[in-house]
Chain A
Amino acid sequence: MQFLSYLINGISLGSVYALIALGYTMVYGIAKMLNFAHGDVIMIGSYVVFFAFGSAGMNPVLAIVLSMVVCTILGVTVERVAYRPLREAPSLAVLITAIGVSYLLQQVAQLAWTSNPKSFTSVVTGLQPISLFGGQLTISAETVVTIIACIVIMAALIWFVNCTPAGHAMLAVSEDRGAAQLMGVNVNATISLTFAIGSGLAAVAGALLCSSYPTLQPTTGAMPGIKAFVAAVFGGIGSIPGAFLGGILLGVIENLSKAYISTQLSDAIVFLVLVVVLIVKPTGLLGKKVNVKV
């Protein structure tokens, strides 16, 4: 029974990773860059929810929507200011710039809201925990909401990418940027849209993450951000179902190793998984193999 409880909590944590991983995987697939600052967008989103809902007493759904708007604007602005000038630059330059943006967001948050941890009020209100097997297994409402939210968002995203013109444009740009441009796809707008969606999802992920793990500080986003990237790579970067699968698996692995091996070593185990995956199957579980042409 305990195992089941760890498993479900792992799936819940994994759902959050999956939501964050979506942002990484879409941006990586389309802009071919690793957006290191993605984790910190989550942190900014969580602060917005914290102030709008926790301090100002706004309706939780409205607070999340507000946070999504803020994160979307932030994501698009960062892309416009920091990443777009470097579109044709070597990937090393873009990566270092992204690290710079990540640091910038953390430092701004630290100056604005200090590094003291804030205790986050759960956005899931008015729902009772579910009790199963005569009270032997309790699942918190946060867990259920997180998992459902993740599934709904995933389904919506798959529909969006496969069934709308904007989604088709994304697929085309990720396949071949130059050819897509020749076919009349507005590449810059498509990349901006990708950042907007990724950052909006980050806001949701942030609110859900902080509802389950209620300490909020400027570095809150960094670790989940990196782990979500691990999840994206695990599932095969560029693949939306891959991000989902990778996120869930990673969450489960993390929670089970916390429960059965060692709390202190759980992060090390997660990263070890990444190293092993990259060595054995560098394209991830659902990734496509890319041949390098000269």
Chain B
Amino acid sequence: MLKNMKKSTKSNCITLGIVIGFFVLIQILSAAGLLTNSFSGQLVPICAYVILAVSLNLTVGMLGELSLGHAGFMSVGAFSGTLVYVVLSDSAPKPLVMLLAFVVGGVVAGLFGFLVGIPVLRLSGDYLAIVTLAFGEIVKNVMNACYLGVDSHGLHFSLKDSASLNMEVDGKVLINGAMGITGIKKASTFTIGIVLVIITLLVILNLVNSRAGRAIKAIRDNEIAARSVGIPITKYKLMAFVTSAVFAGVAGVLYALNYSSLVAKKFDYNTSILILVFVVLGGIGNLRGSVIAAAVLTVLPELLRSMNDYRMLIYAIVLIVVMIFNQSPEMIALRKRLTARFHKEGEGDKAKEKKGVA
């Protein structure tokens, strides 16, 4: 049966198998009491970062456009989802509210993805990157200055301060500017996180291997050629961009519900770059790589606490070295020569051929 499986299906099964294997391993370790506190605290963020890395890889790897505002979508999703959760948590059963929070977070982030995507996808390359960066900064600044409250008259909104909300005595401040949303009852669990990771992988892996996915990759490889064979560029670009935003939003909700407070500052440019680092180190366009890189690089700083000062320095150097090693024409030629030398004559040619196809 394994032999008859399509290559992509087999690869997808391996990726999902890794995630499920990780889940089982953690369950066993946790039952045996081998998990340290700090590590179990990292489990939900790991899932959130895996989702973020996989979804960003859809934009960067499959669509070939650099997005530096992924944290912005995460932020929008986190705030809307958490808001739903905080407002409804007393009036409905918890699983339902959680589900609703994830759906709302994803939908709102997707909506923003759509709104940003329509004008932005007319641009490409560096311009697109800088506009997504601008989007992330706008979201951070606006959420930092955003006040939202609820009282018997309904919702009140202000961009100045909590006093100018003009609420009745029974009013409750929901979003308190730079302080964000406080008093969230932690709700994210590792199991929920893993389920979301699996859903994300199923959707994105299927998208990538579908007709739409092939169209998206065709746009990446040569936009003009893709257009000339009749692929609707805008439609598929938007599809990739919005899907990516939706999952960033969901990851934002997952991340936010793991802590008791949520501030806009957390989702800044640095977070966007961190996710990009996961994608680049995992391999641009390689979803399984993103999963592994995000998980390993989230855990690693905990394990190497003494190295923490140098962590970002090492990331920066690795980022540069990986880029030069993978993309520089001289390096590619050098690597080809080396691989040819390591293989025997006949095998070497085969390996070369394989490389060329991949």
- Seen from chain A, the residues whose Cβ lies within 8 Å of a Cβ on chain B are 28, 33-34, 82, 85-86, 88-93, 95-97, 99-101, 103-104, 106-108, 111, 222, 226, 229-230, 233, 262, 264-265, 267-268, 271-272, 274-275, 278-279, 282, 292, 294
Contacts and interface: CB of A to CB of B under 8 A. Distances in A.
A271 B316 contact: no
Interface residues on B, range: 35 or more
The majority secondary structure among interface residues of chain A is helix
Nearest to A91: B125
A97 B138 contact: no
Interface in B37-62: 60
A111 B141 CA distance: 28
B126 A95 contact: yes
Interface string B123-154: 10111011101110110011011000000000
B134 A97 contact: no
B327 A93 contact: yes
23 contacts: A86-B328, A91-B125, A91-B126, A92-B65, A92-B125, A92-B284, A95-B66, A96-B276, A103-B315, A104-B317, A226-B130, A230-B134, A262-B159, A265-B141, A265-B142, A265-B145, A267-B138, A267-B141, A271-B138, A275-B135, A279-B119, A282-B123, A294-B224
Interface of B: 60, 64-66, 119-120, 122-123, 125-127, 129-131, 133-135, 137-138, 141-142, 144-145, 159-160, 224, 269, 273, 276, 280, 284, 309-310, 312-313, 315-317, 319-320, 323-324, 326-331
B135 A111 contact: no
A128 to B, nearest CB: 37
Of A104, A271, A282, the most chain B CB neighbours within 10 A belong to A271
Contacts of A275: 119-120, 131, 134-135, 138
Given A104-B316, A265-B145, A292 B328 contact: no
B276 A99 contact: yes
Nearest to B139: A268
A17 to B, nearest CB: 15
